[in-house]
Amino acid sequence: MRVLKYLLQKEFLQIFRNKSMLPIIFVMPILQLCVLSFAATYDMKNTNLYIVDKDLSSHSRELISKFNGSPFFTVKEIGFSVEEAEKEIYKDKIDAILVFNDDFGKSVDLKKGASVQVLINAINASSAGLYNAYISSVIQDYNRKVSASIREVGTGVPVHFVQSSYLHQFNPEMKYIPYMLPGLLVLLVTVIGLFLSAMNVVREKEIGTIEQINVTPIRKSQFLLAKLIPFLIIGFFELGIGLSIAAFLFKIPFLGSVWLVYLVAFVYLIAILGFGLLISTQTNTQQQAMFIAWFFMVIFLLMSGLFTPVESMPEWGQTLNILNPIAYFIKVIRMILLKGSGFFDIVDEIAILTLFAVSVVSIAVNRYRKVA
């Protein structure tokens, strides 16, 4: 234990003396969290519309005004030619085109059923889906009004329509930030933890001090534990900053227990740091360590469900995710913070992460060679 104390003392001194590391550890996460939370949004606020109105009837204008009045749409231009409108799509100035043919107003008046053509720029399939849904809902709304007025006039036949209402549980306003921010927090502690640990042991190899360590009777487990503990504390610290930002700046409701988040983070960080140390013991230069860490980071991250739902990945992808620690933590932190899940709801994930942590640290200790 005394040896561990001296090792830890040395690690902390070195971390806090590294002038280029300190900003990375303390400033970068805060900046990233604030910037990413605001910037990487799926919320649709501003869809640029081009409207081709060949009808110019009161009906088409009424529908156009509905789009104009919506906060989600900006009617960029109203024209008469679909070709002109398409040119704007090519220039990426326009997200969708609405086409009213010249019989639109007449068809509404004659109650024949009128149609509006919608052309959407679908380069980004998920935002195209959103445009479609929003545009449809505006048109639906208009539809209802027209139907109702038809009934009012009283044709003798009551028009029935089913109105469904939704309640989005746990994130009633379908806000993006409460959903994304917990995931981004996971991303941050992972990046910091994985990279710091992956670069650390190999740095001593590069400088040459590792030889001096290897001729001492320090045990391998002591040495790696002394590398792991400081980063675990830094990870906790960052998580604390992140959760504070989430609570006080973004006002995210914490339905579950923060202690439970910390419990999961404890196991999770040991797994990630152990993995970083494993990389570090197996490489000879910081550059190698960096690339390997980056390789795994990108794969873990893109498959983690941070940006795209895990459920929509192909079967094999979901199967691979069994080995993805980031996926577990993102899932669990969202469950705890947004749904208020308790310990027993996430006990499986905790068990798996614990298994990861134990095995990866054992492998790292085993693979670290004091003797060449």
Partner 1 sequence: MNKDVKVIKVKNLCKKFGDFTANNNLSFEVSKGEIFGFLGANGAGKTTAIKILCGLSYPTSGEISVAGFDVYKQREQLKRNIGYMSQKFSLYEDLTVFENIRFYGGIYGLSKEVIHRKADDLLKKLDLQHARNKRISSLPLGWKQKLAFSVAIFHNPEIVFLDEPTGGVDPVTRRQFWDLIYEAARGGITIFVTTHYMDEAEYCDRVSIMVDGKIEALDTPAKLKEDFNAGDMDQVFLALARTATNVE
Residues that bind partner 1 (CB under 8 A): 2-3, 5-7, 9-10, 13-14, 17-18, 207-209, 211-212, 214-218, 370-372
Cβ nearer to partner 1, comparing 27 with 213: 213
Residues paired with residue 348 on neighbouring β-strands, in sequence order? none
Q: Report, in Å, the least distance between residue 24 CB and partner 1.
A: 16
Q: Which two tokens stand for residue 339?
A: 């749904």
Sign of the torsion formed by the C-alpha atoms of 33, 36, 42 and 47: positive
C-beta of 5 vs 111, nearer to partner 1: 5
**Closest separation in Å from C-beta 230 to partner 1:** 14
Minimum Å gap between C-beta 219 and partner 1 is 8
C-alpha 70: how far from its chain's center? 27
> How does strand 73-79 pair with strand 47-53?
parallel
DSSP string, 307-329: SS-GGGS-HHHHHHGGG-HHHHH
- Nearer to partner 1 by Cβ, of 17 and 168: the residue is 17
Torsion of CA 316, 319, 324, 330, to 10 degrees: 100
Please list the alpha-helical segments (H only) found in 42-176: 58-69, 82-90, 104-109, 125-153
Burial of 289 (0-12, 13-18, 19+ CB in 10 A): buried
Q: Shortest gap between Cβ of 358 and partner 1 (angstroms)?
A: 24
Q: Give 153 or 371: the residue with its C-beta nearer to partner 1.
A: 371
Report in angstroms how near the CB of residue 365 gets to partner 1 at its nearest. Answer: 15
Minimum distance from residue 11 beta carbon to partner 1 (Å): 10
Measure the CA–CA gap between 16 and 22, rounded to whole angstroms: 7
Closest C-alpha to 15, from 285, 230, 289, 207: 230
According to DSSP, the residues that pair with 74 across neighbouring strands are 48
Strand order in the sheet with 96-100: 73-79, 47-53, 96-100, 116-120
**Shorter beta-carbon distance to partner 1: residue 63 or 201:** 201
Output the smallest distance, CB 226 to partner 1, in A: 10
In the bound state with partner 1, the residue whose beta carbon lies nearer, of 207 and 298, is 207
Q: 218-246 as b/e, with b when 16 or more CB fall inside 10 Å?
A: bebbbbbbbbbbbbbebbeebbebbbebb
Q: Which is nearer to partner 1, 157 or 215 (CB)?
A: 215
Cβ-based nearer residue to partner 1, 4 or 358: 4
Smallest separation (angstroms) from partner 1 to the CB of 202: 15
